[in-house]
Structure 1
């Protein structure tokens, strides 16, 4: 039985994780989502949307650094970026570290998530919403990509899981429109859940991206607060060289930026594209 001071994640029907609520900070339904924010002694502040952990204060850097810097350093010449989702501001914070980026467009469906994260997770965005390069648009990601006339060097889909309004960002139609709005040699990346427990969703993404990109693969990370093991990010590009970057070249590129990271480095970058055999078997069989 669930105790009064615990919270149970409900992403999966037959398994899940519990967190002790040391202090409840916020619990309410926005226009689009059911949101709870609470303090936990291990993870710090935790935000869950629709009963699924979205971000925590103490391990967010792993997710945000890898979803941002892997494609940015792989490409090397990113000027114009589209972030879809990402209302907590973590991806935006990491993107803003790159001084050569000229324009950032961010599309988030729920303004309440942005405002809540500014209040309860200020270190996620670190005032990145004030960056003059940013154009913030409150809209559904699929609708935006269907109607915009702009093209981008990099599209980062930092969506919730494929439930509720998040479903739109896992449709074949969404991937097709993203491909059409990338410049030559552009890169598309997206969070794709924990492979062991969301294998079917990952395989569907793989099949759909294969329709539109020459080089389709996943790269992996481990985030302690995301239950079930290894998480994967989807990768789509027409330039196969981007996902096969040399460690020495990456180290040189990173050094030139004078940026420092808590998780990301050149060896982590290259090794993240090597997947366990059970994943490779599942993708090959698809």
Structure 2
């Protein structure tokens, strides 16, 4: 229904952003959260969870490309990928762009997010939902990693809300302990760690927790316009420290073989390499090597 009103994001109590709403498309209270999707004047269609902007058609490519292509191209041989969250399907679509991926398991706790994304944000996932390599599970990611067999996945990608509400359990010791167990010998996990200018504790606490179970912990950055506050950090925890320093020529060759060169809007081999060079105000929140 047309509204021509404004929606104010509620992530930070003293600072934020707002969107002028051209048309509200859906507003649902699921078993887990309040979900709203609206059409904006500037960013295309927008999904909001519990008052916090999650994704927009206008800039989703930044976050999705960096969350996906960086770990998969750094690894180089990831055949089995686990995605936790990411109910809009954008991470799944980009994982499936990599021809070496044989199986992509996506576990999203809120089926309403998937349903509404399919109906109102179909461009984000494209045909990923129907790819035979994809296994989409509506369920609890915590339970999934707890029950998955050892060494089952090469890469785990966690696309969750902040560590409050439904996303809180994805930032616990038990979760990271099980992630380390089900990853292969060169396995790695990436997850969003907030905007450190406003959420430094999130990066610090999550990195320290992951350091208990992974020998190499760091972060890399992406500039996502609708994640207000500067750089978004993407946490990185790997069993092999060399993965974060994969030479740019190797990244370039792998991207070329996957058909990604010239097909992305944010990620490039140069952006990939540079994203690990953190400004001091971010790097200081990581645990010592």
- CA offsets 1:255-281 (integer angstroms, 9 cap, x no match): 122222111110000000011111122
Partner of 2:193, secondary structure, is: strand
Residues 85-164 of structure 1 aligned to structure 2 (within 5 Å): 85-149=85-149, 151-164=152-165
What corresponds to 2:182 in structure 1?
Answer: 181
Structure 2 unaligned segments of length 5 or more: list them. Answer: none
Q: CA deviation at 1:175?
A: 0.9
What corresponds to 1:231 in structure 2?
Answer: 232
1:280 has 2:273 as partner: no
Q: TM-score, normalised by structure 2?
A: 0.95
- CA offsets 1:91-113 (integer angstroms, 9 cap, x no match): 00001111221111110101111
Cα separation, 2, equivalents of 1:159 and 1:238: 22
Q: TM-score, normalised by structure 1?
A: 0.96
Distance 1:231 1:79, change over 3 A: same
Distance 1:284 1:132, change over 3 A: closer
Cα separation, 2, equivalents of 1:281 and 1:63: 23
Distance 1:71 1:232, change over 3 A: same
Aligned residues: 284
- CA offsets 1:157-201 (integer angstroms, 9 cap, x no match): 011111111101111211111011101100100011111111111
Cα separation, 2, equivalents of 1:243 and 1:82: 19
Q: CA deviation at 1:282?
A: 3.1
Structure 1 unaligned segments of length 5 or more: list them. Answer: none
Cα separation, 1, equivalents of 2:184 and 2:249: 27
Cα separation, 2, equivalents of 1:232 and 1:220: 5
Residues 36-115 of structure 1 aligned to structure 2 (within 5 Å): 36-115=36-115
Q: Contact between 2:8 and 2:18, CA under 8 Å: does it hold in 1?
A: yes
Partner of 2:99, secondary structure, is: coil
